[in-house]
A and B are shown apart, each in its own frame.
Chain A
Amino acid sequence: MNSEQIIEVRGLTKKFKNITAVDNLNLNVLRGDVFGFLGPNGAGKSTTIRMLLSLIKPNSGSIKIFGLPLEKNRNEILQKIGAIVETPDFYKYLSAYKNLEILSRLSGIEVSRNKIMKMLELVGLEKRYKSKVKTFSHGMKQRLGIAQALLHDPELIILDEPTTGLDPQGMKEIRDLILYLSKEENKTVFLSSHILREVELIATRMIIINRGAAQVEGTVEGLLNTDIMSVTFEVDQIDKAIQIINGTNWKIFYKSHAKNQINLEMTKDEIAGLNKYLIEKGIMVNSIVPVRSLEDFFLKITEAGEK
């Protein structure tokens, strides 16, 4: 990966009447990134993507893609972008093949029949190339959406919730495809998703936004690699354990009497210490489960944003 900026957004703001959908957003996507774009529903992800694709106009701020201002170089930039914006929709009365043919012609290139069939094969729709899109399931339309995004061999692929509506197998296939495109084809991928595990698995860098504003940006590894982690202890006497812990410097994050569970935030080294301390005080520790997922991180970030 190099440091060439593919997307450079500065102070991007979009308001709809009194609602600020995107608020002074900055982000940087580098060449070769699989860039995760995370946020809860209504955070402004799709609005941002629509602005990146020139579907809606920002109230203020600047967007540069491939080093060029989007406003003045729209067509030149869009030639090198493949995108899915929300649910991909097609001309339902046309076949999958015909839809791709029309979209390739709209991209200003004549894509050969072989190339279209290759794309359909890539997403597993080669046997349904003659079928009208109105007969397709949601998952099939999603796959066709991926095919149309890749049709003109773009440098940058913008995917807005590409696995929505897919079954677990389909989700894995799309994840594998994104990794293939990034690693084998050297594409830059801008991936918006609410499936946090998905981003954790495939993204190299990410940004979390909430209420239109960036909360945190960096490499996935860097953001997750903090010393503090969330740990759940399951004990036999929860009230006594709470009393003991309250007499220490450790702070209980949440407790569940029904499950006899206590959740704390601590470093890895402290886990053994607390375990030993509880045992010494006559508490049986049945299990210790450390949680250090993006989901946990994401929830903390967005909850902090809410507060």
Chain B
Amino acid sequence: MITLISIELQKIFRKWRSYIGFIAIGLMTAIVQFALYISKDNYIKFATRGLQDNFEFVGNLFNGYLVAYFILQALFIHIPFLIVLVGGDLFAGEATAGTYRMILTRPISRFKLVTAKFLAGFVYTNILLLWLMFVSFGASVLLFGTGELIIARGNILIFASNDVLWRFTAAYAFAVLSMTTVISLSIFFSSMVENAVGPIIATMAVIIVFLIISAIPVDLLISLRPYFFTTHLVQWNEFFGDPVDAKEIVNSGLILFAHIAGLYLLTAYLFIKKDIMS
């Protein structure tokens, strides 16, 4: 199995498209960091408007933690676009290239192949998010230093600098789970078709449709929100609440995990039965 996973990873990382995500995250993060650096005073004033008459803010409020949080908020919704470029290609790319015929006439079981592709996809997701963590959190802390984290989420929350690191770590860990769900969905679609464009569009269409439906303030649709996996994708944000709603986070985590397991098993079942005609 390790051999299979390493082969799948080699295939992923020898393709140009696999680096689009890294380049995009690197560029976007650098742009946001630069823009925030230029307009940092205005941003802090805007974030603390309404409090400035009654409170005096001292210390380094514009710091690496704030920038990292801001980037995570701004970019997180776009990461799925980058991940499905790889996930959508994992199976469909083999069908398009005609390489299914080569690999499936080798003495490896289809179940193992599906497992290897899922695990390689998960590894890619982890590496991409580690890169996001490095450039958004690591680089921001290096560039802008540390301090208290001030967050405006309806009310103003200020976290002491020694209370921030674990929140970011947990948020990135949850983000891995969220994005693993996204890549699982794209791999599932990818296993059913012979062209990578279809799974990429289908995955994004599902996410966008669910997000739009979730955003419509109608009772019936509001009641459906908990059943959409997209609702749980952004639960990493809960780690920046006070108090942290552990029950809700665990619940969302379990729902996402169930989606990943379900998509994996469904993909394996369908792929084992599939006639390879490409």
Contact = CB atoms under 8 A, between A and B. Distances in A.
Interface of A: 50, 53-57, 74-79, 81, 83, 85-94, 102-103, 105-108, 148
Contacts of B277: 50, 56
A105 B7 contact: yes
A249 to B, nearest CB: 52
24 contacts: A50-B275, A50-B276, A53-B105, A54-B105, A55-B276, A57-B275, A74-B107, A76-B107, A78-B105, A78-B107, A83-B105, A85-B101, A85-B105, A89-B97, A90-B97, A90-B99, A91-B11, A93-B14, A103-B103, A103-B106, A106-B4, A106-B103, A108-B107, A148-B102
A150 to B, nearest CB: 13
Interface in B62-101: 97-101
Given A56-B276, A75-B107, A91-B11, A105 B3 contact: yes
B109 interface: yes
A90 B102 contact: yes
Given A57-B275, A91-B11, A93-B15, A81 B102 contact: no
Interface string B35-70: 000000000000000000000000000000000000
Contacts of B169: none
B261 interface: no
B10 interface: yes
5 closest Cβ contacts across the A-B interface?
Answer: A89-B98, A56-B275, A75-B107, A106-B106, A55-B276
B14 A89 contact: no
Nearest to B113: A106
A81 B105 contact: yes
B98 A91 contact: no
B106 A107 contact: yes
A76 B109 CA distance: 11
Interface centre among B10, B14, B105, B275 (most CB of A within 10 A): B105
Given A81-B105, A93-B14, 18 more contacts: A53-B105, A55-B100, A55-B104, A75-B108, A83-B105, A86-B101, A88-B101, A88-B102, A89-B99, A89-B102, A90-B97, A102-B7, A105-B3, A105-B7, A106-B7, A106-B106, A106-B108, A108-B106
A105 B103 CA distance: 10
Contacts of B7: 102, 105-106
A79 B277 CA distance: 22
Given A56-B275, A102-B10, A91 B101 contact: no
B14 A55 contact: no
A91 B14 CA distance: 10
Interface residues of B, number: 25
A30 to B, nearest CB: 22
A88 B103 CA distance: 11
Nearest to B14: A93
Contacts of B99: 89-91
Contact of A55 (B10, B273, B275): B275
Interface centre among B7, B14, B102, B276 (most CB of A within 10 A): B102
Contacts of A55: 100-101, 104-105, 275-276
Given A86-B101, A89-B97, A148-B102, A107 B276 contact: no
A91 B105 contact: no
A89 B104 CA distance: 13
A92 B97 CA distance: 8
A154 to B, nearest CB: 11
Contacts of A87: 98
Nearest to A132: B14
Contacts of B103: 103, 106
Contacts of A53: 104-105
B102 A103 contact: yes
Contacts of A54: 104-105
A148 B109 CA distance: 19
Contacts of A88: 101-102
Nearest to B109: A75
A286 B52 CA distance: 115
Contacts of B104: 53-55
B105 A89 contact: no
Contacts of A77: 107
A148 B103 CA distance: 11
Nearest to A102: B7
Interface centre among A57, A103, A106 (most CB of B within 10 A): A106
A89 B3 contact: no
Interface centre among B3, B97, B99, B107 (most CB of A within 10 A): B107
A103 B106 CA distance: 8
A111 B237 CA distance: 50
Contacts of A56: 275-277
Contacts of A81: 105
A85 B278 CA distance: 10
A103 B28 CA distance: 38
Contacts of B4: 106
